[in-house]
A and B are shown apart, each in its own frame.
Chain A
Amino acid sequence: MTAAEQQHIFESWLSQYKGLFFKIVRAYAVSGPELDDLFQEIVIQVWKSVPAFRGESAVSTWVYRIAINAALSWVRKEGRHRAMEDIGKAAFVLQEGIGQADERVAWLYAEIHRMDEIDRSIALLLLEGFSYKEMAAILGITESNVGVKINRIKKRLIATSKKQDCYGI
């Protein structure tokens, strides 16, 4: 694959899946510099992965797998510290978009943030509507194991959403 082909595919993936990257970024990072740092990390990993894509899975599954792995790796490593060091040094890649702050979405992200890293990735896949089979392929665990984890996450989200209902959300 030539560099131009890689760049072309990467740009089309970025344009198609950047919304998905935003969600992963918001689920794993908190502050502005962290969001920016993780977004860049995901973009780099996706760009690097282009030549390795053989079309054996759907592009969305592939891209999601790369992005989730990049986020988990970012959390494990020093990404957060690096992001904090970079405050005020340069312009941000992520700018405020047209979306309005929705308190129900904010609540959902707050709930996701309370989960551990693994459950967070499963919650994201679940909310995005991936099938058990696709989730098992992304995570590398059995479908029955996925099912157990999903039940736990669903119960948790439903239970906390009921508490939120009491506060009018």
Chain B
Amino acid sequence: MEFEEVQSIWGAQDAQPIFRVDEKELHEKVLGRKKKALRITNISELILIFTYLGAGSYVWYLNVRGVFFMYLMAGWMIAMALLGIFRRVRRIVAGRRFDRTVRGELEHALAVARYQVKLSRMGRWNIILIGVFCVFGMWESGKSPWVGVWVGLFFVFTYYLSGFEHGCYKRQRERLEELYDKLGD
């Protein structure tokens, strides 16, 4: 079979479309999905921002004895909230662009994936840092060493679990890099 014949087989579909569209169902589903996608992204971002902001401010407010490490932890949490706001603005601005080619779209997806890997790595270091601030804060305020040990173990366990999420982001980035290389070869 020559390529022109293959192309004519392909073109034959136009005369008899294999599907028809239920316009009413489409309209309802599209509207629903648009709202849902926006809601999920908005809610998860806002939860992250308000949790860090709320927890940071609360720790600061509760620290009546002026424990240095508690101030550090509170400051760090507030900085994370600000970073969340920055990410949100970046996402909204990036979402307005539509005139990308396939390569451009992949580059954008790859940039986002790399950013996610960096952010997730930073998040893991964040767990260690907050854990250290917390344990030292307890030590400074005279809590039993055993409480410090348990709290420390909790943070170590959380760090271990966060490795799974980090692995997912890395695999996604590798997959995109592979796809990008295929486009260029």
Contacts and interface: CB of A to CB of B under 8 A. Distances in A.
A22 B17 contact: yes
A23 B18 CA distance: 9
Interface string B1-30: 111011101111110111111100110011
B101 interface: yes
Contacts of A72: 102, 105-106, 179
Given A140-B104, A165-B1, A40 B33 contact: yes
A96 interface: yes
B164 interface: no
A118 B179 contact: yes
Interface in B90-124: 97-106, 109
Contacts of B26: 40, 43, 93
A138 B10 contact: no
B170 to A, nearest CB: 15
A157 B16 contact: no
By size class, the interface of chain B is: 35 or more
A72 B106 CA distance: 9
A90 B19 contact: no
Contact of B21 (A73, A90, A93): A93
B65 interface: no
B64 interface: no
B22 A44 contact: no
Interface residues of A, number: 59
Contacts of B17: 18-19, 22, 97-99
Contacts of A98: 16-17, 20
Interface of B: 1-3, 5-7, 9-14, 16-22, 25-26, 29-30, 33-34, 97-106, 109, 172, 175-176, 179, 182-184
Interface of A: 14, 18-19, 22-23, 26, 35, 39-40, 43-44, 47-49, 52, 65-66, 68-69, 72-73, 76, 90-102, 104-105, 108, 116-119, 121, 127-129, 137-141, 145, 154, 157-158, 161-162, 164-165
17 contacts: A19-B14, A23-B13, A49-B98, A72-B105, A73-B105, A76-B176, A76-B179, A94-B19, A95-B19, A97-B18, A105-B9, A116-B182, A118-B102, A127-B11, A140-B102, A161-B5, A162-B1
